[in-house]
Amino acid sequence: DVINIGRQVLGNLFSEYRDQFTACYNRKDTTGMREWSTRMDNLLLDVDHLLSCDATLSIGKWLQDARNCGATVSEKDYYEENARCILTVWGQQDTQLNDYANRGWGGLTRSFYRERWKRFTDGVIAAVSEDKPFDEDKFHQDITQFEYNWTLQKDSFPIVSEEDPIQIADSLILKYDTYFTKAQ
């Protein structure tokens, strides 16, 4: 319960951070954009840290189960690639059902969703800094290539961090106390 409530609260906070990033973008305030981008990035790492405390919320468990379906290395690789695709691009590169079965899981949040957000905010900040429009087509090509490459990776993820989610939640409450105090 602590993990589920924590990820929802932090998800709500992420929405506010994204809105602040957008407000800075509308003002062409690159300093503010960098600040909110960094906050978004750190928050996604914190969400991943919390999620990683439970095997049922772990990309590591999902991928291990997929690999266990195969008898040979090539079968194991095949099942892992499919397991990665199901959660992210759903099919082949640049499909219409992107994020169809997305999950907020430890490892996945850090390695996939955080990276997508980072590439987006970095691209937007660069465009504003150079006084150019954000190149959505280039971004789309870049991000779909990243997503596809992610499904082909074979990096492993731990099943569970074995950390105490209550201790992590307590530290996150202290870290984000300003937000929680302001929200009351």
Q: How confident is the model at residue 97 (pLDDT cuts 50, 70, 90)?
A: low
**Residue-wise pLDDT tens digits, 125-157:** 999 999 999 999 999 999 999 999 999 999 889
Task: Give Cα 121 to chain centroid, integer Å.
Answer: 13
What pLDDT, on the 0 to 100 scale, is given for residue 87? 87
Q: Range with the lowest mean pLDDT among 34-43, 61-70, 113-122, 171-180?
A: 171-180
**Which parts of the chain fold into alpha helices (H)?**
2-26, 30-51, 59-68, 73-87, 108, 114-129, 136-152, 165-175, 177-183
Q: How confident is the model at residue 96 (pLDDT cuts 50, 70, 90)?
A: low
Query: Average per-residue pLDDT in the chain?
Result: 92
What pLDDT, on the 0 to 100 scale, is given for residue 89? 86
Q: Is the per-residue pLDDT at 183 higher than 70? A: no
Q: Range with the lowest mean pLDDT among 78-82, 106-110, 153-157?
A: 153-157
Dihedral over alpha carbons 177, 112, 137, 41 (to 10 degrees): 20
DSSP at 112: I
CB 132 within 8 A of CB 79: no
Looking at residue 27, its amino acid is R
